[in-house]
Chains A and B, each alone.
Chain A
Amino acid sequence: SQQGEEDPQALSIQEGENATMNCSYKTSINNLQWYRQNSGRGLVHLILIRSNEREKHSGRLRVTLDTSKKSSSLLITASRAADTASYFCATGRSGGSNYKLTFGKGTLLTVNP
């Protein structure tokens, strides 16, 4: 069953503004990851945050994780037109001896020049 739900489904901002996307999930997780997908391309791994971490930074990206609320947010600061893409959260969870990564439906971010 689907695990992550991104919010909003679509976001349109001006270049230079910050973009915030949220992700909610339903069950316990080992980690949460964010991916970017440009139109017609594969997914690119952006950042991974473990369940015992609350915040992580990578360049212009800032990810938070609140396991009590089962939610995460991805902040992209000083956005650029090249950031235009779909962004997916994915929850990593172990089931038995297997670890599985389950994706949400994504947020389509449009950065206008």
Chain B
Amino acid sequence: DTAVSQTPKYLVTQMGNDKSIKCEQNLGHDTMYWYKQDSKKFLKIMFSYNNKELIINETVPNRFSPKSPDKAHLNLHINSLELGDSAVYFCASSHRGRGYGYTFGSGTRLTVV
């Protein structure tokens, strides 16, 4: 049973296209996150949702729009893809609060050509 699952695992698309990445967790966590890992392995938080409410929205282009239909799902839609969007995108979940580790999905490798 996969705890945090992301689809697709790989995504190759052309510049200017719109694409979505889906994430689901079956851990009963109330908070979900999107992180972006660049080619140098640096992980940067993008968004966080708690019980469907957006609680963290870092400086991310408006082309990126998260959506959480319920607390077990967090999707990421990207409009007008650019070359610089190429990266690995990780979904994670946790209980909200200071004392919990995060559970990560296996990542979606996005390549924009």
Contacts and interface: CB of A to CB of B under 8 A. Distances in A.
Interface of A: 2, 30-31, 33, 35, 37, 40-45, 48, 50, 86, 88, 92, 94, 97-103, 105-106
Given A31-B99, A33-B101, A99-B96, A43 B56 contact: no
20 contacts: A2-B42, A30-B98, A31-B99, A35-B101, A37-B41, A40-B107, A41-B106, A42-B4, A42-B106, A42-B107, A43-B43, A43-B92, A48-B99, A48-B100, A97-B55, A99-B96, A103-B43, A105-B40, A105-B42, A106-B41
B34 interface: no
Given A43-B90, A105-B40, A105-B42, A100 B56 contact: yes
Interface of B: 4, 35, 40-45, 48, 55-56, 90, 92, 96-107
